[in-house]
């Protein structure tokens, strides 16, 4: 046993003869004994790291007692076993002992005194470091990213252009004004660093960057990274929820949001949490809804004013959808908008039958916000069961819609429903972009979306008026067109059957939740599209807690695998200006980013990350990741150099030009 642990177990403290000190010493000794027999073989006798597990001395202070108790009971997906038998006083003593842990000499998290180029001294805690860089939490509670110079001193670095929210800005266009990377030098792009999220098979989040720090999430985990080196600064993690339903059970989480000194994210069990963005410490936690009623959460929250706004998931399990706003300081709920009315409320007449009792209408993607109009726009998912409409006759409001809300109150301003009475799982989660452009010769505030149902839409976002709609995929059979009001004209004989019906597009849609991008310099809208049909098979079922509620299944057309095509659309006509077909099975989920450098970057169907000319579609560059894309890229300027980052498989990869 180490001297450090022996000292703690001995209870060698001042005033140890007092009754209170004696009780504390006995509890500490008992906790130390539990640690020595249950934890030390992995984490080391001083908890500063061992052969089989990392140091925990820098993690314990960032967790509440309840979180530590839950972690001990459930374990972690990263390999830490569960200890459900450590209960009662034994668990209390162990947690108390963990609170006494300190870094040993030479540990990664240790006091540091650093001299800068200007001669000033920085003092604080070195959260991580290498021979060339350091991430230091100063005694002033500020986070410093440092680089060692040739003289042995350090200089501070940060980002000059951030990516502070899921889509970069609140308008949802995935466009950046950065232009160091251009259509003339994109062929020189190279991987600058790679960070692996070890507990996640398929990262779906978009990294965000604020003040040089990158925040990346997976289910119940958040990492803070040095955006210039990929070096970890801190890692927040809690156990995944046993028995959770929906895609969160597979580890899906699409990102975070930052405001002030907090980073916000949802947990798999539909809680919204705020972490200190410098340390990863939990600041507050709010239960949005009881997850036992088939809810989960996967989307990146959206910061609007003093509130943080989030939706929920669970639509494929029959959970009733909502969007809610919470105070950034306290986590207290400010308002809630339900996407499906209750019986007797306005709109409930569009639900004839028992389907309104488990209606779905989930809100699992991030919304957009127009500051000038002070309007929040949120996409709404499909009704349930997904493939059966027998018990929900009518349009089923507000499913498959965009709802425009007052961000102060949550009151509905207007809505537009893309697919009334949906039986094909055509949710409205394809990201809408808010675009200011000329329309028929006059300035107009537009909303553009390439909907999952295969139609390209242009709306007036001040009032929801339908302006344009046309097919954007070569394979569309479920409808023959749109009415002048934008309502689909349903083709007979194109509903799911017990035997299986061939319908286009397939259930994953002509596009889906991954990002599209509008570039104001080219006036083109870039979308990863799927020319693909599928077999829709109906399976009759009843709603059950803890079970899926899709009402069937689907598969691709065995006679025609389809294809994935990157298309650039003229928003005034809905027609493709250029197309870039890809090689693959047509079922990947890589999104799109465009920049002022005349470049479009996207996750391709052959598992590569690629770049194309924004005006012509000419292929410029590709990097073989060998992992299928399931996320959307972003870009930022760090230490005056432009980076592009994307999640692919279990990795975050940052690319840049040669030094």
User: Catalytic site residues?
Assistant: 425
Q: Which residue, among 561, 525, 623, has the nearest Cα to 173 in the 3D structure?
A: 525
With a CB cutoff of 8 Å and minimum separation 6, the contacts of 423 are 386, 387, 388, 389, 495, 496
- Please provide the size of the chain in residues: 659
Instruction: Measure CA of the first residue to CA of the last residue in the chain; give whole Å.
Output: 49
The 3-state DSSP class for residue 291 equals helix
Residue 469, strand partner residues: 457
Copy the structure tokens of residue 85: 């038998």
H/E segment holding residue 9:
helix 3-10
554 Cβ contact partners less than 8 Å away, ≥ 6 residues apart:
387, 425, 506, 507, 534, 535, 536, 537
The β-bridge partners of 159 are 638
Task: Kindly give, in sequence order, each residue whose CB lies less than 8 Å from that of residue 581, ignoring residues fewer than 6 positions away.
Answer: 563, 564, 565
The β-bridge relationship of strands 552-556 and 534-538 is antiparallel
Burial class from Cβ neighbours inside 10 Å (0-12, 13-18, 19+) for residue 332 reads exposed
Neighbours of 215 (CB within 10 A): 27
What the block records as the tokens of 334 is: 């400010």
**CB-based burial, 620-637: b 16+ in 10 Å, e otherwise:** bbebebebbbbbbbbbbb
Question: What gap in Å lies between CA 262 and CA 274, rounded to an integer?
Answer: 6
- Please check whether residue 320 is in contact with residue 295, taking contact to mean a CB–CB distance below 8 angstroms: no
CB atoms within 10 A of CB 208: 27
Q: Using CA atoms, how far apart are residues 452 and 430, in angstroms rounded to an integer? A: 6
The Cα–Cα gap between 165 and 390 comes to 40
121: tokens are 């001294």
d(CA 177, CA 187): 19
For residues 319 and 247, the answer to whether their CB atoms sit within 8 Å is no
592 near 632, Cβ under 8 Å? yes
Of 235, 229, 214, nearest to 148 (Cα)? 229
């Amino acid at each position: 046993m180490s001297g450090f642990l022996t000292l703690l177990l001995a209870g060698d403290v001042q005033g140890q003869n007092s009754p209170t000190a004696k009780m504390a010493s006995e509890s500490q000794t008992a906790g130390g004994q539990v640690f020595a027999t249950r934890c030390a073989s992995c984490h080391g006798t001083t908890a500063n790291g061992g052969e089989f597990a990392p140091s925990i001395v820098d993690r314990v202070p960032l967790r509440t007692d309840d979180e530590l108790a839950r972690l001990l009971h459930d374990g972690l997906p990263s390999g830490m076993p569960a200890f459900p038998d450590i209960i009662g006083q034994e668990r209390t003593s162990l947690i108390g002992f963990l609170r006494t842990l300190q870094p040993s000499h030479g540990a990664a998290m240790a006091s540091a005194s650093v001299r800068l180029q200007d001669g000033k001294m920085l003092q604080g805690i070195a959260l991580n470091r290498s021979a060339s860089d350091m991430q230091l939490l100063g005694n002033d509670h500020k986070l410093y990213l440092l680089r060692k110079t040739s003289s042995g001193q350090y200089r501070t670095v940060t980002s000059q252009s951030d990516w502070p929210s899921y889509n970069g800005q609140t308008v949802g266009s995935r466009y950046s004004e950065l232009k160091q990377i251009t259509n003339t030098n994109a062929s020189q792009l190279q991987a600058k660093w790679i960070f692996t999220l070890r507990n996640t098979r398929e990262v779906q989040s978009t990294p965000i960057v604020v003040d040089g720090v990158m925040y990346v999430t997976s289910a119940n985990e958040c990492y803070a990274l040095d955006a210039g080196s990929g070096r970890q600064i801190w890692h927040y993690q809690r156990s995944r929820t046993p028995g959770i339903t929906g895609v969160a059970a597979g580890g899906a989480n699409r990102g975070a949001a930052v405001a002030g000194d907090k980073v916000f994210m949802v947990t798999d069990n539909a809680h919204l949490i705020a972490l200190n963005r410098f340390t990863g410490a939990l600041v507050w936690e709010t239960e949005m809804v009881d997850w036992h009623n088939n809810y989960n959460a996967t989307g990146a929250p959206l910061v609007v004013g003093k509130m943080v706004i989030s939706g929920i998931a669970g639509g494929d399990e029959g959970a009733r959808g909502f969007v809610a706003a919470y105070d950034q300081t306290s986590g207290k709920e400010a308002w809630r908008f339900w996407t499906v009315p209750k019986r007797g409320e306005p709109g409930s007449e569009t639900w004839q039958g028992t389907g309104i009792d488990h209606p779905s209408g989930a809100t699992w993607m991030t919304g957009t916000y127009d500051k000038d109009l002070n309007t929040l726009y949120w996409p709404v998912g499909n009704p349930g069961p997904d493939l059966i409409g027998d018990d929900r006759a009518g349009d089923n409001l507000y499913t498959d819609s965009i709802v425009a809300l007052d961000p102060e109150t949550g009151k509905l301003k207007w809505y537009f429903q893309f697919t009334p009475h949906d039986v094909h799982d055509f949710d409205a989660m394809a990201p809408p972009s808010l675009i200011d452009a000329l329309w028929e010769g006059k300035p107009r505030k537009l909303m553009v979306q390439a909907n999952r149902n295969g139609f390209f839409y242009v709306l007036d976002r001040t009032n929801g008026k339908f302006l344009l709609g046309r097919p954007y995929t070569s394979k569309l059979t479920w409808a023959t067109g749109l009415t002048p009001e934008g309502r689909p004209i349903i083709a007979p004989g194109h509903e799911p059957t017990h035997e299986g019906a061939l319908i286009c597009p397939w259930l994953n849609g002509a596009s889906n939740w991954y990002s599209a991008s509008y570039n104001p310099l080219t006036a083109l809208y870039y979308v990863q599209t799927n020319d693909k049909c599928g077999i829709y098979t109906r399976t009759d079922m009843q709603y059950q807690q803890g079970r899926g509620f899709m009402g069937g299944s689907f598969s691709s057309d065995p006679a025609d695998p389809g294809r994935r095509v990157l298309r650039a659309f003229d928003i005034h006509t809905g027609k493709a200006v250029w197309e870039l077909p890809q090689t693959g099975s047509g079922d990947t989920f890589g999104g799109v980013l465009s920049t002022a450098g005349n470049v479009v970057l996207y996750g391709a169907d052959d598992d590569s990350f690629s770049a194309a000319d924004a005006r012509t579609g000419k292929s410029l560059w590709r990097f073989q990741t060998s992992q299928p894309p399931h996320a959307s890229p972003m870009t930022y300027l760090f230490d005056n150099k432009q980076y592009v980052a994307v999640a692919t498989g279990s990795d975050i990869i940052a690319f840049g030009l040669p030094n």
